[in-house]
Chain A
Amino acid sequence: MQKVTLTVNGREVTAEIDERTLLLEFVRDTAGLTGTHNGCMEARCGCCAIEVDGDVVKSCNVLAVQVNGAEVTTIEGLSPQKLGPVQQVTTQTLAGVYEPLDAIRSSVEDLHPLQAAFHRCHALQCGFCTPGMVMVLKDYLEENPAPCRDDVRKAIAGNLCRCTGYQHIVDAAMEAAEVMRGAGATTTDD
């Protein structure tokens, strides 16, 4: 057993873990963030991609002890839950519960531009590969803000999707790239 501390989405998480514990397992089981998925455990499908100290890694092929002390960002770190103090619960906020889709379209601060673009472009079906896709594309687009479609395809060549045929994922990445470049002030399409 070994003591490991990671900062996950800004929160410090410390635990005594089996040395065999993978970073993926630390994120899921110790930090309790299950948005990072285990699809193959052999660094091929990309469902477990997360950011470690600013670089994207496939967390199923890294031991947690290898990255002791690192800063980790997962899919949950891109769009924190919107939690309001109790006094804000009024009829109006309850009514707001009825319009979750509006929240996505109206403001970029609720969701990362990639998440919003994935929604608009129908870039996810079962959604299992989505967190890994989004994390890899985030890293890629931050370094390559104006890619062509073939560039995007190569960027996600290490992420499998069995549902979409990738077409809408590439569409979403191109849209998000535009927003991330600042070309579009909002993500709304109407």
Chain B
Amino acid sequence: MTEAPPRSTTGTAPRRLVGTSVPRKEDLALLTGTARFIDDIALPGMVHAKVLRSSLAHARVRSVDTEPARELPGVLDVLAGAELVGKVKPWGDLMQDLLVGDHFPFATDKVLYEGQELAAVVAETAYQALDGCEAVAVDLEPLPAVVDPEVALRPDSPLVQEGIVYEFGDGNIFDRYKVRIGDFEAAEREAAVVVRQRFATNKQAGAALDPHGCVASYDSFTGVLTLYSSTQSIYMVRDVLADVLQIPRTKVRVIVPEVGAGFGSKAQIFGHEVIASLFSMRLGRPVKLVLGRGEIFRVGTTRNAQVRYAELAMTADGDITGYRDYVVHNTGAMSVWGNQVVHIGTNVGMLPYPIPNIHVDSDIVHTTTAPGGPLRGFGIPQVIWAKEQLVDMAARELGLDPLAVRARNVVDPEEFPFRTPMGHIIDSTSIKQCLLASADAIGWTAKRAAPVPYEGLGLAVSMKYTSCRHPSLDTDLSAVRLRLETDGTVTIYSSDVSHGQSHATMLSQIVADGLGVGIEKISLAPPDSMTAPFGLGTYASRGAAVLGTACRLATERLRDKVLAIAAHVLEVGPEDLDAGNDRVYVKGLPDSGIHLEIIAATAAYRTHQLPPGFEPTLETVATYDTPTEREASNGSGNLSVTYSGAAHAAHVRVDPDTGQITVVDYAMVHDTGTVINPLIVEGQHQGGFLMGLGMALSEDYVYDEDGHQLNASFKDYLAVTAPDVPELTKIYEIPAPSTTIPGGQKGAGESGTGPVPAAIGNAVFNATGVRFTILPITPQRMLIALREKERRGVATIRYPDDMPDFTGPRTPEEWPRPTAADGGDFDFDFDWDAEEDTD
């Protein structure tokens, strides 16, 4: 798979690197231990901070006495909530639809979740800081916890957030979301079958191995606060931090070292970043604050768990004509991004089917649990878990083949771009071919025809956004600045943090092709808000497409400048020139021409040789904002610049004695458009699968009724290990290059996650007759379900819906209704003229 990078040898035609598996430029430092992650940073005079966190999930703060800690050896300073009130601005309101300042460095009058910050100590050593935290005297009055989001909806539920007025919510409802496309009730009347099922999903951790952490260093003379942080987005951290501290943005500098992954869990500012900054400003010394694993589990944001009351209408021929859903979305005690997950996940999660009638209501609910946030897939795996199982259920009722039903319904227009009823603009897709190829790779037809006891096959398809214009963040931009250095090497500046995505390699491939410069001469500068152009950060699978397009544009601009100089020197037109082999040459004569280093040195050091009027130096910048739409009031819109496709086929085996579920074989066929580096994209898909497998079979936050997380460690939180994963060799690409993105790329990072839980769920049903409606599908649950199925002597059974101890609604007649009925807080079809007299 790997190929040697091209040599700058004279006489060979320049090779294109985009599309080849160039070995990564990032690897050497990471392999040899010289790469510097956040915990590796040590500054002169640096001291250490630790946070005292609440051991209760919900409590009134009676008092926090920091005095005993101040007496201890080595302790330099102690902070707690009360003294910061009025001095530090609450945050959570950077983006226009999140008009809540619900985040503060410490709990002041009330604790909302286990692990929330109560006080922090800074000392000469980390051990002294821990001793200091132990000495802080905290008096908390326990309040009843609320862990279940449906309980949180009840009028008698404990109120989590007090004193915050929500624009679209009330009580524990943080926000609401609706989709109204077509007429679901008409589809329901005309359908041959409507399948209805309650599905629940789990609270999964990103569990990036590199801890969340930072080093803050304040210089009172310049007034500059420098924050080294393991974040995914330097400008979101900088802008919020400057706002919280009420200092100019030029006085906050955010620098990012190597970041050991994030998966979405590092895509916002955290309390510890504010705390370390405050300490450094108070002491004038650098302060390190790196979180421990238990802290990261409790405060580092999780996948939002959902309950979905989902319905799918299908005609006798197998056409999907309608989808209705009521979503109770558990976003934890507080969340910057949590409500966005429902909007985006539901909008994009309707794909790959152009469903004509969609009716979704969602209540986005606070509970006294860990904050929800983005996590690989951003709401899409949750929707797919429900929708793709409904497809199988409907096909079964109609006696149709699940493969044939999907093949009939996936978006496969005769002409592109194609606008779905939900508003997605599909500029290209090969999802139908992907589906057929995945089924073929797993041996669908032959194996389904010859079933083996306790073995089964399952399919699921999804399409994942590439970039995203969030409803609360009307922007989708990335930027790149390029400089051709005076020796012919190139530096790339970007604010989109690479934390495993291989930006240095991927961007270098684009630059190498555009400028004809050897990839070994190209470097990516570390993200630094003092030098990088403004960009949103690395999330939403936007790196290759959005950042890559900015890089392509900057490269084209730089190329134009380089060619202009060469044309002037060689006395030819720029259109007669080409770039390659580290030089610019007259087309057809790659051995001749001027080396880039000569051109670069001319632009900087011999400016009188430049073309008349040429602005010296060779530096260009480009910003690319995608041509995406804002979310419409009916919930529709094209929120992503293009959509990558994923069709997965799973073959599972269930051990009836132990309940163990083994994924025997797994096929993934993807449309990632034009692939810049096939080996890197393959790695992204394999990693995406791992996250999906954890969601499907093992990972979840387990709470007791008091809101204590019982598994806040890798001992009890069952992160996927190597023996759990099947051989992932059946990975295929069927590229349908994006026609919107100039290079044709689509997002790779998250498309491997979306279909996994549903494909496994469908395979498990095929193997056992047990329809799991909650995640994860653990061996214990499997055993209980198999025994109950045997006891009742039935062919199929649902878990947990048909279990004797299930307390939730078992039938659609018992389902709860959305808290805001139509015509409630906002009515899309309200006719102002006709109803003038209503008040």
Cβ < 8 Å to A, chain B residues 718-732: 719, 721-723, 725, 727-729
Contact of B27 among A127, A156, A170 (CB under 8 A): A127
Contact of B258 among A38, A40, A127, A163 (CB under 8 A): A127
Tell me, in angstroms, the Cα distance from A180 to B689 when the chains sit together: 31
Tell me, in angstroms, the Cα distance from A190 to B105 when the chains sit together: 55
> Taking A34-B40, A40-B713 as contacts, is the C-beta distance between A127 and B518 under 8 angstroms?
no
A76 beta carbon closer than 8 Å to chain B? yes
A75 contacts B32, C-beta separation under 8 Å: yes
B727 contacts A149, C-beta separation under 8 Å: yes
Which one of B202-210, B319-327, B607-615 is at the interface? B202-210
B210 contacts A128, C-beta separation under 8 Å: yes
Which one of B149-157, B332-340, B678-686 is at the interface? B678-686
B208 contacts A162, C-beta separation under 8 Å: yes
Name the B residues within 8 Å of A40 (CB-CB): 209, 293, 713-714
Q: Which residue of A lies closest to B40 (CB)?
A: A34
B4 contacts A45, C-beta separation under 8 Å: no
> Taking A36-B33, A98-B520, A100-B520 as contacts, is the C-beta distance between A128 and B687 under 8 angstroms?
no
A75 contacts B33, C-beta separation under 8 Å: yes
Q: Which residue of A lies closest to B28 (CB)?
A: A100
Name the A residues within 8 Å of B40 (CB-CB): 28, 34
Name the A residues within 8 Å of B260 (CB-CB): 37, 39, 126-129
Contact of B679 among A41, A122, A154 (CB under 8 A): A122
Tell me, in angstroms, the Cα distance from A129 to B725 when the chains sit together: 17
Which one of A64-72, A112-120, A139-147 is at the interface? A112-120
A134 contacts B721, C-beta separation under 8 Å: no
A122 contacts B714, C-beta separation under 8 Å: no
Contact of B722 among A28, A118, A156, A189 (CB under 8 A): A156
Q: Which residue of A lies closest to B35 (CB)?
A: A127
Cβ < 8 Å to A, chain B residues 631-661: none
A47 beta carbon closer than 8 Å to chain B? yes
B30 contacts A130, C-beta separation under 8 Å: yes
A127 contacts B30, C-beta separation under 8 Å: yes
**Complex interface bits, A122-138 against B, C-beta within 8 A gives 1, otherwise 0:** 10111111110010000
B32 contacts A39, C-beta separation under 8 Å: no
A157 beta carbon closer than 8 Å to chain B? yes
B210 contacts A126, C-beta separation under 8 Å: yes
Interface size on B, residues (CB 8 A): 67
B209 contacts A160, C-beta separation under 8 Å: yes
**Complex interface bits, A3-24 against B, C-beta within 8 A gives 1, otherwise 0:** 0000000000000001010000
Tell me, in angstroms, the Cα distance from A173 to B292 when the chains sit together: 30
B23 contacts A120, C-beta separation under 8 Å: yes
A111 beta carbon closer than 8 Å to chain B? yes
> Taking A20-B127, A168-B686 as contacts, is the C-beta distance between A125 and B502 under 8 angstroms?
yes
A104 contacts B28, C-beta separation under 8 Å: yes
A162 contacts B687, C-beta separation under 8 Å: yes
- Where chain B touches its partner, the secondary structure class is loop
B715 contacts A163, C-beta separation under 8 Å: no
> Taking A125-B687, A165-B686 as contacts, is the C-beta distance between A37 and B209 under 8 angstroms?
yes
Name the B residues within 8 Å of A127 (CB-CB): 26-27, 29-31, 35, 258, 260, 500
> Taking A157-B723, A168-B683, A169-B722 as contacts, is the C-beta distance between A162 and B263 under 8 angstroms?
yes
A35 contacts B209, C-beta separation under 8 Å: no
A59 beta carbon closer than 8 Å to chain B? no
- Where chain A touches its partner, the secondary structure class is loop
Contact of A124 among B21, B30, B125 (CB under 8 A): B30
Which residue among A36, A118, A162 has the maximum number of chain B CB atoms within 10 Å of its CB? A162
Name the B residues within 8 Å of A125 (CB-CB): 261, 500-502, 683, 687
Which residue among B30, B500, B683 has the maximum number of chain A CB atoms within 10 Å of its CB? B30
B282 beta carbon closer than 8 Å to chain A? no
B630 beta carbon closer than 8 Å to chain A? no
Q: Which residue of A lies closest to B679 (CB)?
A: A122
Name the A residues within 8 Å of B721 (CB-CB): 156-158, 160, 166
Contact of A76 among B26, B32, B728 (CB under 8 A): B32
Which residue among A34, A79, A129 has the maximum number of chain B CB atoms within 10 Å of its CB? A34
Name the A residues within 8 Å of B30 (CB-CB): 124, 126-127, 130
Which residue among B125, B292, B725 has the maximum number of chain A CB atoms within 10 Å of its CB? B725
Tell me, in angstroms, the Cα distance from A187 to B1 when the chains sit together: 14
B32 contacts A163, C-beta separation under 8 Å: no
B27 contacts A118, C-beta separation under 8 Å: yes
**Complex interface bits, B1-45 against A, C-beta within 8 A gives 1, otherwise 0:** 111110000000000000001011111111111111101100000
What are some 24 contacts across the A-B interface (CB < 8 A)? A38-B39, A42-B714, A42-B715, A45-B209, A45-B714, A47-B209, A75-B32, A76-B34, A79-B31, A100-B520, A101-B5, A101-B520, A119-B24, A122-B1, A124-B30, A126-B258, A128-B209, A129-B209, A152-B722, A154-B722, A157-B721, A158-B721, A166-B725, A167-B686
8 additional A-B pairs beyond A122-B21, A126-B209, A165-B690, beta carbons within 8 Å, are A33-B33, A40-B209, A42-B714, A47-B209, A128-B258, A157-B722, A160-B714, A167-B728
A residues lining the B interface (CB < 8 Å):
18, 20, 28, 33-42, 44-45, 47, 74-76, 78-79, 81, 98-101, 104-105, 111, 115, 118-122, 124-131, 134, 149-150, 152-154, 156-170, 189-190
